[in-house]
Structure 1
């Protein structure tokens, strides 16, 4: 029986930092994060919502993201609750499971809120009332948010099975088995819409699959990254950050691999640049923004792959995914700093602070949704 071994991302950094000091001894090279630089006339963000939930394991942060729909904010508590707020008013709070907490979610769409846990339990709640509409048992842990599209809830379990459930009833409509990967990071990209008929699934072996959302029939598979090395750790090249579509172009990042732009209409890779990242890239106005595993923030031209700028002021600060909020590029770090950068130059132009390592940034309706390892959930907007 094939077994899959997952490695927490923090441990992989320690593993690749090992340096020999004798024939029978090794030590971990200490890497100190850069101190936050001072910013003259710094811009700040305005907080508009804050709530605190249970903190998660620092070495294994979960994919717990906030969601919003029609002015209502939805979020997950790792202990098993899903809650909805309108401003400061709590509309409902639902306990999903007594025995197990939640490890991924939320995703909101088509009238439901979806979350899952490490026991493979997938839950759908009515968006308005918070009542559980249905629950399904998957074959592996749910460690990435689901995706809702065309009446389907698309979920990838950690053992490599892709599931489609009916939005209304929870009936399992199809499954697709991804190739087995025996050694990977503890993380998985969420499914992403390619077009109204197809969904993108990125895998732990640097492949991306296009699957028909209605039938579950695969339409395309393509490798988008290559990693080299002598050990299993050195050859890790997972796509843990969600792919991003910009017209016919798909942008992907991979750990110890490349930033790649693939022209899906021509079914060929347009360009690649060596850069290690386990975070979702941001693509705005023909620019690709990437936060790397060593703390660089880099901008590339979407069509040519030319490096436009590189910021190294936040090295080794365990950066989150970058996002565009209005005219500013925002990235979070391990101390809860939300750094604002000029997307044209890469210069630091502002900062705000939350509590704990930033694990997820999303922009919904021009507001910034922030989740942290310490359970600080907040919404911000430009001043």
Structure 2
């Protein structure tokens, strides 16, 4: 059902590296990740919940995030089940799809929402696990949905935004974004700007603001620019979720820029060249970006001034960074959760989960982590 030509991130990197090579024999050089630096007095996190589900393909960059609502943790298994946990107790588990699940879960307004690669979107009752409705999109659902203003809003992999009535699953509206015909396999999730407006991002470097009730567009703005010559070099996908920080919208793009957009003026405040496929973090007037090469960089939110850059985690396939208490946390390919001083960029601690960390988020001062190997866990500060 996908209409765009999607390529895995690792293949894009390799292809770009080989562009312009004139030799008939190409020897692939495996990039080695930086060894872990030694830490003097390392801070660590305490696990408070863990559950193992099925692993995902190394080539498919799915971010199967967990969610929480009213003290209950909701998660999915890529093979097709959704489950709810209260502490270590499983409240229910429901098989919703014979074709697996691919989107990560969203829990809100008494519903749990998940999607699959066949374009099916499933709504399950939070309390009982009973399936409430199923809706059909025009392409694979690989990013979490958003529940807002009585709508369940999800994006198909062909760039079409769908809104469904949260009670009945009836389609309310659709909006077709202009997407690149050639892109990475990934999709940013829809994000709320205010009670009536969402923002969605595309594979060709644009963001759109849309009325969540009617589907009427309110803004269209380019926030990433490509300077490449080949199809691979021109990729500027926004695969990490945009971040709304007061009057600003912050985005990252692959082979593009980190950009801060003033939502009221609909003008770019500043933009700096970086390559990132993950969500930026914004805290204490700083923007934190995990780049595709493993550099971790902090910028001033309002001026764009670079505050610091950490290169100790080069080539470690960093996850999105998040703020947990007083520390910045980022995961890597070995399942390490690195704790970083957000003022200096200095590594101050680490903990370990299992498998490449694909998604981090913070809910109620707890860290929710998911990995490619299917290790889903919740952590808190010691």
Band of TM-score, shorter chain:
over 0.9
SS across alignment from 1:141: coil
Aligned to 2:278: 279
Cα distance in 2 between the residues matched to 1:348 and 1:73: 30
Contact kept in structure 2, 1:271 and 1:305, CA below 8 Å: yes
Aligned to 1:129: 128
Cα distance in 1 between the residues matched to 2:49 and 2:61: 22
Aligned to 1:183: 182
SS across alignment from 1:242: coil
Give the root-mean-square deviation of aligned CA atoms: 1.1
SS across alignment from 1:59: coil
Cα distance in 1 between the residues matched to 2:110 and 2:22: 61
Aligned to 1:163: 162
In terms of mean alpha carbon deviation, does 200-209 or 22-31 score higher?
22-31
Cα distance in 2 between the residues matched to 1:40 and 1:23: 47
The 5 A counterparts of 1:23-42 are: 23-42=23-42
Cα distance in 2 between the residues matched to 1:14 and 1:267: 36
Q: CA deviation at 1:58?
A: 1.1
1:245 partnered with 2:244: yes
Aligned to 1:337: 336
Q: CA deviation at 1:267?
A: 1.2
- Give the alignment's TM-score, normalised by structure 2: 0.98
SS across alignment from 1:133: strand
SS across alignment from 2:198: strand
Question: Cα gap change, 1:22/1:266 in structure 2, threshold over 3 Å: closer, same or farther?
Answer: closer
Runs of 4+ in 1 over 6 A off after TM superposition: none
The 5 A counterparts of 1:282-297 are: 282-297=281-296
In terms of mean alpha carbon deviation, does 316-325 or 10-19 score higher?
10-19
1:67 partnered with 2:67: yes
CA deviation profile, 1:291-310 (whole Å, cap 9, x unmatched): 00000110000000000000
Q: CA deviation at 1:70?
A: 1.1
Cα distance in 2 between the residues matched to 1:180 and 1:270: 24
SS across alignment from 1:28: coil
Cα distance in 2 between the residues matched to 1:203 and 1:177: 11
Cα distance in 1 between the residues matched to 2:77 and 2:23: 47
In terms of mean alpha carbon deviation, does 22-31 or 355-364 score higher?
22-31
SS across alignment from 2:152: strand
Aligned to 1:378: 377
Cα distance in 1 between the residues matched to 2:365 and 2:207: 29
Aligned to 2:115: 116
Contact kept in structure 2, 1:19 and 1:26, CA below 8 Å: no
Aligned to 1:57: 57
- Unaligned segments of structure 1, at least 5 residues: none
CA deviation profile, 1:116-161 (whole Å, cap 9, x unmatched): 0000010000011110010011111101111111110000000111
Q: CA deviation at 1:228?
A: 1.3
Q: CA deviation at 1:19?
A: 6.5
The 5 A counterparts of 1:69-108 are: 69-98=69-98, 100-108=99-107
Cα distance in 2 between the residues matched to 1:133 and 1:86: 21
Q: CA deviation at 1:13?
A: 1.5
- Give the alignment's TM-score, normalised by structure 1: 0.98
Contact kept in structure 2, 1:146 and 1:156, CA below 8 Å: yes
Aligned to 1:151: 150
Contact kept in structure 1, 2:55 and 2:78, CA below 8 Å: yes
Aligned to 2:7: 7
Q: CA deviation at 1:21?
A: 6.1
SS across alignment from 1:168: coil
- Unaligned segments of structure 2, at least 5 residues: none
Cα distance in 1 between the residues matched to 2:153 and 2:324: 28
Aligned to 1:220: 219
In terms of mean alpha carbon deviation, does 226-235 or 296-305 score higher?
226-235
CA deviation profile, 1:169-199 (whole Å, cap 9, x unmatched): 1010000111142100000000000111100
Cα distance in 1 between the residues matched to 2:284 and 2:238: 23
In terms of mean alpha carbon deviation, does 165-174 or 54-63 score higher?
54-63
Q: CA deviation at 1:27?
A: 3.1
Q: CA deviation at 1:3?
A: 4.2
CA deviation profile, 1:86-133 (whole Å, cap 9, x unmatched): 0110000000022x0001020111110000000001000001111001
Aligned to 2:207: 208
Aligned to 1:174: 173
